[in-house]
A = this chain, B = another copy of it.
Amino acid sequence: MTRTDFTEITHSAVIRQETHGWRAKCLQRLIRLDMPVPRTVSLSFAAVRAIAAGNLPDMDRLLARFAPGQLLSVRPSPQFPDWGGPGALLNIGMNDTRHAEIAAAHGEPVATRLYLRFVQAYAQHVARLDPELFDAAEPCLPALQAALHDYENEMEEPFPQDPALQLAEVLRSMARAWEGTSARLLRQAKGAPAEAGLGLVVQAMAGGLGADNSGAGVIEFIDRVSGERRITGRFKAHGQGREALENGADTLYLTRDPRGPSLEDHSPEAFGALVRHGEIARAKLREEMQIEFTLDKGELAVLDAVPVVRSSRAEVRVAVALAEENIISRDEALMRVPPRALADLMHRQVDPRAPRDLFARGIAASPGAAQGRIVFTSSAAQASAAREEACILVRRETTPEDIRGMHAASGVLTERGGMTSHAAVIGRGLGLPCVVGASGVRVDMRERSVSVGGRVLREGDMITLDGSTGEVLAGTVPLLEPALDESFRTLLVWADARRDIGVRANADTPADAGIARGFEAEGVGLCRTEHMLFEDDRLLVMREMIFADTEQDRAAALERLLPMQRADFAHLFDIMQARPVCIRLFDPPLHEFLPHTREGMRGLADALDRPLSEITRRAEALSEFNPMLGMRGVRLGLTVPEIYDMQARAIFEAAAAVGGTRGDRVVPEIMIPLVSAVREVEMVKARVEAVAASVRAETGAEIDYRLGVMVETPRAALRAGEIAQHVSFLSFGTNDLTQMAYGLSRDDAGRFMSDYVKLGIFSEDPFQMLDREGVGELIMIGAERARVARPDLTLSVCGEHAGDPESIAFCRDAGFAYVSCSPFRVPVARLAAAQIAIAGAR
């Protein structure tokens, strides 16, 4: 080891975040801001690596930096605060001698408390002894003696008395802990590279043991949850480090407070200095900091400062406030807020301060918190909604029949399914908190109970879902309301000014479209028309259409659906004003519209006045081995062409009507699903054009529209050059494309996906983050071939991936016009797109 092993942190010392860590750098900044920071020495990443390898610095030289007998603390200093590291270790240097000295100066209890704390921490974190052995209740002399005795017993040597030895062992143990597997996994989860280094800072402990106005405290200048500016924190006389936050009996509020004594009253000068330091730190460190301080007989020392841990809502508010005060730039503000944080703001949240009674854990499929009484059927959910009583719909899995139940429920919990199961997709679409694939949960429909291990909850029991973490909590827990406040809106206005890729919303109903408009989507990128047809009045007509025996009966049913669809589309065009609306023609297999239970079949037999046996037989005949790969999309559209004819007519008539009322022209976009061959496109195109011609002739309106293809089979991507010649736009449906590229059903992948990601077989769940290597290559092949054939083609991505920042970056790199995601992800996508543009410009 050389002289550069360690560096005292001064105004002029060479301390860099990349070599000494963020804490060392932060402390130097505080020093440069003339704050009263106790003497501190920084050990670089290289030095700590050397320590781990067994090469200690010269301890005598290191200790010579401090006053003789000075107690020391050691804190971790990785490159970024959230990369973790070992906990701080205080009071290094305590031994029998120091115990006697402090006892003489401040009384035996003070000395004993310090010494016992040190022995406990040292035994646990340095000697790695069983913490329970040293978990004494009340700090008193006998407890201290017992601890020292136990230590000697276990280690077969007395507790080390030499401060140099103590410090050396602390440094060694921290250096080695950093190399451990669990520490490495933890920091890698936060994005740290494998070779990330740890720095350490050794600091003189600053008093706080003496008279009345001595002690330690922590101060913050914002509310962690709301982000509002107000001073919070605690001060504890005779305390050390963060003890004040433990809410002991003898803590002080910081500002004047009717609930008890405050530091402001008690030590107004010190308090004033602290507030001034806080202001300076905020302005110069360009961040809301939590400051750890001590008072020694009224004299202030600033020990440490870390960014305030805060809620997503506070994150947004702070970023916007700092930018509005010109402390940071708007770009900086945009970059500081993780896009996913916005999702939290749009939903109720479980109060992070509340205790949680964890019942089960599943996949966090749709963010936000919900609570209510457990129901097991859609009809129970509707009944509950009718009583205005919140309920949580619990199912093994949901089917399209559950849509009404989902509308009525506050949240959904399913035993089965993954991120893109029916429940998850619909949940996100509705903004409904949803936990799916809850492991170990067993739903018993007959018993009307849900159980995990031995624990059982029954219909009517209260339950809370945290759709942001996947936790299922028994009983009620305090929730925070959504926070679509001014800061949220401001940030997104800034984001829109920066981003260079469009963001549309997937909106299946006028209600969805309203939300999409509220979140400033630039249009509807995907309207799945079938979702309109699951509504109560339409469902029965759909079923009549499916069971029609003759062309005439089918035509009659479609004739009744036409005005309903026309009204839907008119409503949609109206809500979206001049913004583009892309309508996907009917996609799902017909059997999705049939009931799935015997009860439902019986109801349908009644409604259609046909024998039950015929209903079940026809339903069975429509069932498929692999519905995902079956008679759906354009295949159904060409086999039963009257459906698309009806939809095209509804679209054109609605466009003509709305355009007529508004005085402009509505140019709907019509998208063909599940194409695999160019002939499919040609044939649908011919029929749609024929319908347009009829409507033109009948209404005299100018009917204009754009036709496009949803590229969701690998073959459509490969044949995109041919297909492009017949259409104005292509939208890549990455859900299905992922399913087909991998040969992997999103509904069935839940069973092994988490194992696969854990084992690193898939680096990420490809339904969550677009697989650039496989699916991405198919998209690029398709985009290139389509552009060669038709350079003016509009390209986009719709589907769940479109809300994922990585995937948005992919689309921007590919030069796509827009992404289209579920309405509740629109703000996330807007921010993510801005960040990508800013990062690209840098």
- Mark A residues whose CB is within 8 Å of B: 624-631, 635, 638-639, 674, 676-677, 679-680, 683, 712-715, 718-719, 736, 739-745, 747-749, 751-752, 755-756, 759-762, 771, 773-775, 777-778
B718, B745, B774, B775: the one contacting A629 at CB < 8 Å is: B745
Least CB distance, A444 to chain B, in whole angstroms: 9
Residues of B within 8 A of A624 (CB): 745, 747-748
Least CB distance, A271 to chain B, in whole angstroms: 58
Bound complex: CA A387 to CA B778 (Å): 57
Bound complex: CA A217 to CA B747 (Å): 71
Pick the 10 closest A-B CB pairs, nearest first: A629-B745, A626-B745, A715-B774, A630-B748, A713-B743, A625-B747, A714-B714, A679-B761, A626-B628, A626-B626
**Contacts A630-B748, A715-B775; A676 near B625 (Cβ below 8 A):** no
B676, B749, B760: the one contacting A743 at CB < 8 Å is: B676
- The answer to whether B628 and A774 have CB atoms under 8 Å apart is no
**Contacts A679-B760, A740-B741; A748 near B715 (Cβ below 8 A):** no
Q: List 24 A-B contacts (CB under 8 A).
A: A624-B745, A624-B748, A625-B747, A626-B627, A626-B747, A626-B748, A629-B739, A629-B743, A629-B744, A631-B752, A638-B752, A638-B759, A639-B752, A639-B755, A674-B743, A676-B741, A676-B774, A677-B761, A679-B762, A680-B761, A714-B740, A714-B774, A715-B774, A719-B774
Residue of B nearest to A776 (CB): B718
Least CB distance, A679 to chain B, in whole angstroms: 4
- The answer to whether A751 and B631 have CB atoms under 8 Å apart is yes
Residues of B within 8 A of A718 (CB): 741, 773-774, 777-778
- The answer to whether B745 and A630 have CB atoms under 8 Å apart is yes
Residues of B within 8 A of A773 (CB): 718-719
- The answer to whether A745 and B714 have CB atoms under 8 Å apart is no
Residues of B within 8 A of A745 (CB): 624-626, 628-630
Bound complex: CA A755 to CA B743 (Å): 26
Least CB distance, A782 to chain B, in whole angstroms: 12
**Contacts A712-B743, A715-B741, A719-B773; A683 near B759 (Cβ below 8 A):** yes
Bound complex: CA A676 to CA B756 (Å): 12
Residues of B within 8 A of A775 (CB): 715
- The answer to whether A625 and B628 have CB atoms under 8 Å apart is yes
Give the one of A751, A755, A760 with max B CB within 10 A: A751
Give the one of A626, A741, A771, A773 with max B CB within 10 A: A626
Residues of B within 8 A of A719 (CB): 773-774
Beyond the given A624-B747, A638-B752, A676-B744, please list 15 additional residue pairs across the A-B interface where CB-CB is below 8 A.
A630-B745, A630-B751, A638-B755, A639-B755, A676-B741, A676-B742, A677-B761, A679-B759, A679-B760, A714-B743, A714-B774, A715-B743, A719-B773, A740-B740, A740-B741
Residue of B nearest to A681 (CB): B761
Bound complex: CA A739 to CA B676 (Å): 11
**Contacts A680-B761, A752-B639, A759-B683; A629 near B631 (Cβ below 8 A):** no
- The answer to whether A748 and B713 have CB atoms under 8 Å apart is no
